[in-house]
Structure 1
């Protein structure tokens, strides 16, 4: 029988470490902001707290994804990893909007900001966020939940870098307008990334074909198999956590061993396309009655 990996157990451990590390840094940054009366540090701490909430959502989704299937939830709770990045993206969009609004408001009267404290604490933020992103580096390219958290951390590192540069400019030249300018630019960068994540998360929640797959290429591959004359009722969607499901009906005029054929094809779909939850139905003879209601390219 075809087997597949249902996600590494250390995923939840990585999310736990990342969430707790960022929460500790947020508390430190907020405390230092209050101590120095730095609005820049306090606003960044608020932004980081929102990110901690987003990372907490990703952590919770990773925990839920490990729950065993039940009679009611036959796929388990893996789709929680699709809902988490949707909420994560909305949080990012909201914070980038708030960051941009505050930056525009400050252009009129840039406040006096202590350059050295901002540079020191923001520099620590770069190390914390890049270190946390490194913990989530594996699998973020095909796991939307990890990708959402990874983007959060990289965006935070960019915010911290911008704060370091702004602090340096303020310290060296007294350019207080650098603070709102860098905040505005970083807000735009975050918003662009957030909208891309929001689009992908929405597509996944609507059972769209994953963007890294070409549906016609998969269908053409099925039609190349021995004895297959038609493919219909083919659907491809993400189950979350790097798992991709597919259903397909194949008309196959072949008296060979269909079980062995399906088993070989399931392995091939996994190796070639990463489709690790295929459900394949073999039909004999001409096209079925329902074929004309779900006709796809190349269908007979």
Structure 2
């Protein structure tokens, strides 16, 4: 029985520095605008602005946690956490998704109250603040675009900023409508619309992060395809106990028990498997346990070819 703990040795730190810098700039812009939007929402009595500010607050939280996740993710594995701290990124993204759900519930409740108790809205001030927010969101989105496909954390921050950009457009349109019609009920309608726009994307983020936390197969892979590819490697007579999971969205691992064909040397089979999984499926961390036909498996069961 033999084991192979080799991997392609890919480094996952090459984008961390760039992501941290972009996140820092986005955080500075978003934090400054958050303060302005909260003040504007209170002064101009706009629930739509406060709803947008609430989502902006989650942007700030997402950016702060994303920066912390990058810092912690760089820490090397230790005696207590042998996988290191990269899973913190997933926890952070899941927390942001849950926070957004909570904010949406608050906005819906407040909107219902305002439908029954209409309030005066200062539409010009509402429009100016939202226009500034649109510019800030566009800049932040531009900063985060490069790293959104390489990190769940950056993707979560990008989605929240993107949703706020749509929210700012909605607030501007709502302010214009209120200005020319005097219909103050448009304000809570816009607030609810922002929440409904954000929630589906928040659900997708929560679904993906939950899959990682449950060590599910990454969405980009199909276990049946991986199993078939392993079975086709020369020298493999059978396989079982196949597991594919990820610590984060760019760090996929695989473990498998392989039954060798008669007279096959285990070393070339293991090396061939690791190379195939890396090249075809981008699985960089591979552990292969090889077993001869009829040899007891590590779980106490006998293996048959």
Q: TM-score, normalised by structure 2?
A: 0.87
2:274 & 2:190 partners in 1: Cα distance?
50
1:5 aligns with 2:15: no
Structure 1 residue 224 displacement after superposition: 0.8
Aligned residues: 297
1:89 aligns with 2:101: no
Which of 9, 15, 18 is matched with 2:23 structurally?
A: 15
Structure 1 residue 142 displacement after superposition: 5.3
**Structure-2 change in CA distance of 1:178 and 1:33 (3 Å):** closer
SS at match of 2:145: coil
Partner of 1:51 in structure 2? 59
1:187 aligns with 2:187: no
Which of 235, 240, 252 is matched with 2:243 structurally?
A: 235
1:225 aligns with 2:214: no
**Structure-2 change in CA distance of 1:257 and 1:134 (3 Å):** farther
By relative contact order (CA 8 Å, sep 6+), the higher-ranking structure is 2
1:145 aligns with 2:150: no
Partner of 1:281 in structure 2? 289
8 Å CA contact retained: 1:64, 1:77: yes
Partner of 2:140 in structure 1? 132
Deviates more, 1:252-261 or 1:57-66: 252-261
Structure 1 residue 240 displacement after superposition: 1.2
**Structure-2 change in CA distance of 1:117 and 1:270 (3 Å):** farther
8 Å CA contact retained: 2:51, 2:191: no
Which of 163, 186, 195 is matched with 1:178 structurally?
A: 186
1:40 & 1:110 partners in 2: Cα distance?
13
2:301 & 2:105 partners in 1: Cα distance?
45
Partner of 2:174 in structure 1? 166
- Name stretches of at least 5 consecutive residues in structure 2 with no aligned partner: 1-6
Aligned alpha-carbon RMSD (Å): 2.6
8 Å CA contact retained: 2:52, 2:191: no
2:231 & 2:191 partners in 1: Cα distance?
53
SS at match of 1:240: coil
8 Å CA contact retained: 2:242, 2:257: yes
2:184 & 2:114 partners in 1: Cα distance?
10
Deviates more, 1:110-119 or 1:57-66: 110-119
Structure 1 residue 63 displacement after superposition: 1.5
8 Å CA contact retained: 1:266, 1:278: yes
Q: TM-score, normalised by structure 1?
A: 0.88
After TM superposition, list the pairs within 5 Å mapping 1:33-44 onto structure 2. 33-36=41-44, 38=46, 40-44=48-52
Deviates more, 1:1-10 or 1:175-184: 1-10
Structure 1 residue 219 displacement after superposition: 0.7
2:300 & 2:169 partners in 1: Cα distance?
57
SS at match of 2:252: strand
Q: What's the CA shift string for 1:215-259, capped at 9, x where partnerless?
A: 111111101111111111111111115111111111122656644
Structure 1 residue 26 displacement after superposition: 0.6
1:28 aligns with 2:41: no
**Structure-2 change in CA distance of 1:39 and 1:30 (3 Å):** same
After TM superposition, list the pairs within 5 Å mapping 1:262-281 onto structure 2. 262-281=270-289
- Name stretches of at least 5 consecutive residues in structure 1 with no aligned partner: none
Partner of 2:4 in structure 1? none
1:288 & 1:294 partners in 2: Cα distance?
4
Structure 1 residue 37 displacement after superposition: 5.1
**Structure-2 change in CA distance of 1:35 and 1:108 (3 Å):** closer
Structure 1 residue 273 displacement after superposition: 1.7
